[in-house]
Structure 1
Amino acid sequence: MTANTRLKLLGVFAHPDDEVFCAGGTFAKYAAEGAEVMVVSATQGGAGQIRDAQIATRRTLGAVRASELQESCRRLGIQHCQCLEYGDGTLRELDINRLIEHITQIIRTFQPDVVITFGEDGAYGHPDHIVISIATTRACQIAGLPNQFPHQLTSGLKPHAPTRLYHSHFPRSRLLLSDRLAQWLTEIQNNFAGSADFARALLLFAEETSLLNYSSDYIDVNWYPAGFFVIEQGEVAKHLYLILSGRAQAVIEDEDGTLRVVNELGPGRFFGERALALQHRRLAHVVAVENTTCLVFSAESPLAFLGRGGEAHITGSDETVMSESGANDSPVTTCIDVSAYIELKVSAMAAHQTQYPITSDMFPMSIMREMLGQEYFVRI
């Protein structure tokens, strides 16, 4: 992709917020360099989650998400935004030629040089994403042919073939969000306590980024009954914890078996970060004082038969983790460095409050830049 002031980019996606994760930084970069950019969402996203009942109901969600798309595009510098009204979750039930015709009309109207859409895998297999990929790819192939949908030409449109078509691609990353958070928590050297909003946002962000391969963490929400040893002193450090509800205590066990409480831990507090960051064994127990729920980051899929305690032999396999996280038969042809536009990308993500109730400054920008600072595409 070579930027010039006359360049036109068109992004065609399935739902509001797809534009951010697929190519938000790329759109921001080229818009800032003078390109004309348009984003189209085939649906209003009315079947999506409602993360905040104060923002939307099921009846109003589609209209609210369409407005969020407009705001996201504004923050990215995108000049044109269109939200179509196909049913969220229904695209595979449509006659695909209807979609192809509609997207062909959009291409002939806007006349883009570059079109970006989902890859044929739909990022993670979402049926709407897959259908949009197929329909957009086909529309790009035929939009320049006068014998395709000729009735569009009688209304003044002209055949137009985009010069380049790119599929967004999400190669599996070696990056562990848990490692970056542990390092950050250790470096700031204070007892960070996130709010309930922070904990909720981190859970949603972690799930989304692992789903799209930005990170390779395994994310769980685990419940521990009162009295349970969540961490045992001397264990190999494998997990990072964030308390969502309940209380726990950090307890040091002396050689004579005496237990000393050294820290009280409540909602919003991380624990386990220091041993993870410094790669040494746990220096203390962490015991649930009351029934406690934690967000747990793991480098590998949890095993039901893991041993506990400092003398445990079955603790998981680092070799397996590295092999899995490094496996990548990536067909990537183009990588765009969007690190200079991460603030805009995160701000655009935050515009989608129904899906991502975050603020632009909620997470360390250094971590965001490392995770989201490269966008990958396959030229078709």
Structure 2
Amino acid sequence: MRILYIFPHPDDESFGPAPAISAQLRQGYEVYLLTLTKGEATKQRFRLGVNKEEMGEIRYNEMKCVEKTLGLTGMEVLDMPDGELKNISPIEIEELIETHIKKIKPDILVTYAVHGISGFHDHLVTHAVVKRVFCKMKEEGGEHPKRLALFTRMGEVDLDGKFRLEASEDEDIKFIETCSEKDMQKFHDALDCYETYQEVINDSNVKNVVDNEVPFEIFGEDINNRLESISDQMDDDSD
């Protein structure tokens, strides 16, 4: 069974979802990652004295370290403009995402919940376009994808760190991936791949904020109880 995570930036897959990705790979899922930009607009480029194009290549190489560290089944990084997704026709973004979905044929899509956790515009745009593509493909009656899961946070809104971090209501959380110590170490190792981003990683305290329970909403399904796995209660569940 295949899972495709779709995020806008390098490090989005590691700032929270990485323990779940590790757990799902360990459970035998094929896990793919699609990242829409190279994250070239980060202010870290000024510290390093490089331009956006050079920064994008640096971050792409860091992502290749993440791919190896997590053991991803596959990864593709697009070159859409970092921080500018709100200024691009959503149709263009949707077409790129749909093309990739048709190539990978995932059973499950994963992206941000509606609040984007941090509220960054690129996160919000990505949520909207992935949801739109999922609904379109479901209406067309294709075999894939079968489910849209939304990575989120539990608990209260966090105002103490570098970023304001939103959370989903408890009743909206339909699955919690419980991760092992090994999964948590993979999460730390993946963050360590981002050598140029360590200042932000340390300031955000993400290694201590993220725990071994990674929550997900499930879009558009009538689910009464918490799922036992991310593919539980799916049609033709082969998990």
How well do the aligned residues superpose, as a CA RMSD in angstroms? 2.9
1:164 and 1:121 map into 2 onto residues whose CA distance is 19
Superposed, 1:336-347 pairs within 5 Å as 336-340=177-181, 341-347=183-189
Residue pair 1:175, 1:371 contacting (<8 A) in 2 also: no
Q: Secondary structure at the match of 1:123?
A: coil
CA 1:39–1:70 in structure 2 vs 1: closer, same or farther (change >3 Å)? same
Superposed, 1:1-380 pairs within 5 Å as 7-50=1-44, 53=47, 57-59=50-52, 60-144=54-138, 159-173=142-156, 206-207=161-162, 211-212=164-165, 329-330=169-170, 331-340=172-181, 341-357=183-199, 368=207, 371-380=210-219
2:138 and 2:169 map into 1 onto residues whose CA distance is 33
* Structure with greater proportional strand content: 1
Aligned to 1:228: none
1:175 and 1:132 map into 2 onto residues whose CA distance is 22
- TM superposition score normalised by structure 2: 0.78
List alignment gaps of at least 5 residues for structure 1: 1-6, 148-158, 178-205, 215-327
How far residue 137 of structure 1 moved from its aligned partner, in angstroms, is 0.9
Aligned to 1:236: none
Q: What amino acid sits opposite 1:162 in the alignment?
A: P
Q: What amino acid sits opposite 1:375 in the alignment?
A: V
1:176 and 1:141 map into 2 onto residues whose CA distance is 33
Q: Secondary structure at the match of 1:375?
A: strand
1:23 and 1:69 map into 2 onto residues whose CA distance is 15
Q: Secondary structure at the match of 1:30?
A: helix
Aligned to 1:264: none
How far residue 81 of structure 1 moved from its aligned partner, in angstroms, is 0.9
Q: What amino acid sits opposite 2:119 in the alignment?
A: G
Aligned to 1:256: none
How far residue 212 of structure 1 moved from its aligned partner, in angstroms, is 3.1
- TM superposition score normalised by structure 1: 0.51
1:174 and 1:97 map into 2 onto residues whose CA distance is 32
How far residue 339 of structure 1 moved from its aligned partner, in angstroms, is 3.6
Q: Based on CA coordinates, which of the two structures has the bigger radius of gyration? A: 1
Residue pair 2:63, 2:193 contacting (<8 A) in 1 also: yes
1:174 and 1:137 map into 2 onto residues whose CA distance is 24
Aligned to 1:261: none
CA 1:51–1:374 in structure 2 vs 1: closer, same or farther (change >3 Å)? farther
Q: What amino acid sits opposite 1:31 in the alignment?
A: L
